[in-house]
Amino acid sequence: MNIVIFGPPGAGKGTQSKFLVKKYNLHQLSTGDLLRNEIKNKTKLGLEISSIMNAGELVSDKIVGNLIEKFIANDNFKNKIIFDGYPRTLTQAKNLDNLLNKYKQKIDIVLKLSVSLETVIKRILDRRDQEDRSDDNESTAIKRYKTYEKSSETVLDYYNQSNLLKVINGETSVSEINIEISGLIEAIKG
Ligand code: AMP
């Protein structure tokens, strides 16, 4: 089973992905984590993307596309991936379908966590105290939310058309969201 977890920054995608990884023996593919690693390791790519990420904007479709293929091609992860933070644009969504197709896989469900800007800001400021992320401050959080709003609609329409999209209220507690997501996954597992 391959899952896409979708939603604005601070929606709880990472938290819920970690729960799904354990419960269903999956592997989390967070493009944000992969990109942060590049910055941490001061690679050429890391230097190129740090100002974009700190401005709350999206890194190019080509860069993130290159990062995910390695994962999809790896037999150990076959049909066991949670895409966390990818795709974020329609081009990425189509690229993901092409790549999965190439490796004889598909997406089984798209989980969208809906949360308001107010909640996002509160969560991001809380998270700043626990994680050391240079893009977790109020003005970048607002910018990231706006970036999400601009590009998310076409992606959601795309998945809605293929009947893969499930919308979850991300304002409730972590455990309530866990339960709702588990129910949706059990239903498709049959
Ligand atoms: P995240 O950890 O998913 O909140 O991502 C943090 C930042 O990494 C985003 O604000 C973007 O700058 C960049 N990023 C992560 N995933 C993508 C993606 N799929 N496409 C473009 N940029 C991305």
Q: What is the pLDDT of residues 85-129, one digit of tens each?
A: 999 999 999 999 999 999 999 999 999 999 999 999 988 888 887
- Please state the atom number of ligand 1 nearest to the C-alpha of residue 57: 12
> Edge-to-edge strand order for the sheet containing 81-84?
27-30, 81-84, 3-6, 109-114, 165-169
Q: What pLDDT, on a 0 to 100 scale, did the predictor assign at position 32?
A: 95
Residue nearest atom 8 in ligand 1 by C-alpha distance: 32
Task: Please answer whether residues 129 and 22 qualify as being in contact, where contact means their C-beta atoms are separated by less than 8 angstroms.
Answer: no
Q: What pLDDT, on a 0 to 100 scale, did the predictor assign at position 123?
A: 87
Asked whether the predicted pLDDT for residue 76 surpasses 90, the reply is: yes
Q: Give 31 Cα–ligand 1 centroid separation in angstroms.
A: 6
- Please state the atom number of ligand 1 nearest to the C-alpha of residue 88: 19
Token pair, residue 163, equals 């009947």
Q: What pLDDT, on a 0 to 100 scale, did the predictor assign at position 129?
A: 77
Residue nearest atom 14 in ligand 1 by C-alpha distance: 32
Buried/exposed 94-120: b ≥16 CB within 10 Å, e otherwise: ebbbebbeebebebebbbbbebeeebb
CA dist., res. 171 & res. 125, Å (int)? 16
Q: How far is CA 14 from the centre of its chain?
A: 8
Give the closest residue to 23 by CA, choosing from 187, 181, 188: 181
Specify the residue for token string 């999206």.
Answer: 58
| Ligand 1 pocket, residues with Cβ under 6 angstroms | 9, 31-32, 35, 52-53, 56-59, 64, 85-86, 88, 92, 135, 144
Entry pTM = 0.94
